[in-house]
DNA sequence: ATATTTAATGCAACTTTGTTGCATTAGTTA
DNA sequence: TAACTAATGCAACAAAGTTGCATTAAATAT
């Protein structure tokens, strides 16, 4: 729940996500607004290590995910990536979708395309993470 | 290339995979023959830490993959898993398929089902890793 | 405006997975 | 049985991510 400059009394609301609009939060929010593609935690740490500690970055990303502002997934090396949600809330993330990672430049994009997941005999399927790898538009041409 | 007890002169053959049938290699081969489901590197380290060093385990797994005997993929936490190949060789791995991981017991199975990967505008798709999560047969009933 | 409250931060130490270099061991071949 | 060298063990390392705790700074109350 992102609530900036409201008149709510903090002690009364559910505490899981971002409550205070700190410099660090502003920097990360701006970065995701500016860049539409996904960003890895590692990249953010490299990019903002002068502005804030890596612990802070991990903690803010975690909260922004709780808030339904970001969603996370694992890239090809099993490292954590984040991208903006569209229409999610702290109540539920309903924007599960495949991701495309360029093997050349490493860039990751969220795909709006739906992939049909097969049913598995006697198993209950919950979610599926799909990472498609190849060469992106820029690296291809 | 797994060549045990042959008469080839070692120095003449391509050196990438397993060449000598050591105790450690035998133990790991046996384990994958015995257990049909995938096994994580971490599990093997736990299971055989009295028999061999973790470095040895990682190196043997790596070679067995080169040999086309095992294939690897990342589980839900980004940790490395291995399972037997069917019909692969050191020349090429042609058994790329989705995997199912039980959120309850953690077990992973290879799925023979094919998943249709969407084409992505202006991108060249190479491979896709698909990890389906849910509840397995045993944990479900 | 100032004091109070406490969420957020920085830092150091830690955990976990996996890798590397090098001396030693043990399969394989001569 | 001796020689060759792939494979191993060990210790140290690397990288991603986590935890505890003292300190700082947003937000609120006065
Ligand atoms: Mn996405
Ligand atoms: Mn498999
Ligand atoms: Zn690219
Ligand atoms: Zn299960």
Please tell me the predicted confidence (pLDDT) of residue A7: 41
| CA to C1' distance (Å), from A10 to C6 | 10
Q: Which residues of chain A have pLDDT under 70?
A: 1-15
Token pair 């049913």: residue: A119
C-alpha span between B136 and B141 (Å, rounded): 9
3-state secondary structure of B123: coil
The CA-based dihedral angle spanning residues A75, A115, A62, B133, taken in that order and rounded to the nearest 10 degrees? -90
In which residue are the tokens 């060469």 written? A135
Res B62 pLDDT > 80: yes
Closest nucleotide relative to residue B11's CA, C1' based? D5
pLDDT of residue A3: 54
Indicate the pTM of the whole model. 0.91
Q: Where are the domains of chain A?
A: 2-140
- Would you state the pLDDT for residue B8? 43
CB pairs under 8 A between A and B: 109
**Does the domain made of A2-140 have the CATH classification 3.40.640.10?**
no
Mean pLDDT in residue range B106-121:
91
CA B105 to each of CA A24, A60, A104, B74, B101: distance values in angstroms, whole numbers, following the listed order: 38, 30, 36, 16, 9
Strand extents, DSSP E, chain B: 39-40, 70-74, 80-84, 99-102, 108-110, 124-135
pLDDT at res. A87: 85
Percent of chain B past pLDDT 90, that is, above it, reads 70
Chain B residues in contact with A130 by the CB 8 A cut-off are 115, 128-131
Nearest to A100 by CA among B100, B126, B78: B126
Strand partners, B110: B99
> Which pLDDT score, from 0 to 100, does residue B11 have?
40
What distance in Å separates the CA atoms of residue A100 and residue A129, rounded to the nearest whole number?
11
Determine the average pLDDT of the residues in B100-124.
92
Q: Which nucleotide is nearest to B15 (CA to C1')?
A: D6
pLDDT at A138: 93
Chain C bases closer than 7 angstroms to a protein Cβ? 6-12, 16-21, 26-30
What integer pLDDT is reported at residue B93 of this predicted model? 84
Least confident range of A20-29, B60-69, B91-100: B91-100
Element spanning A63, H or E: helix A54-66
Query: Model confidence over B3-52: pLDDT tens digits?
Result: 554 444 434 445 578 889 999 999 999 999 999 899 999 999 999 999 99
């Amino acid at each position: 729940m992102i609530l900036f400059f409201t008149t709510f009394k903090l002690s009364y609301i559910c505490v899981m996500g971002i409550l205070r609009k700190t410099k660090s939060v502003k920097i990360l929010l701006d970065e995701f607004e500016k860049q539409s593609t996904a960003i890895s935690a590692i990249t953010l740490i490299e990019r903002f290590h002068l502005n804030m500690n890596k612990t802070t970055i991990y903690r803010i990303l975690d909260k922004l995910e709780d808030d339904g502002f970001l969603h996370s997934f694992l890239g090809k090396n099993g490292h954590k990536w984040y991208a903006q949600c569209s229409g999610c809330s702290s109540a539920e993330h309903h924007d599960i979708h495949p991701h495309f990672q360029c093997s050349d430049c490493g860039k990751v994009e969220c795909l709006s395309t739906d992939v049909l997941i097969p049913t598995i005999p006697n198993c209950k399927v919950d979610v599926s993470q799909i990472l498609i790898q190849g060469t992106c538009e820029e690296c291809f041409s």
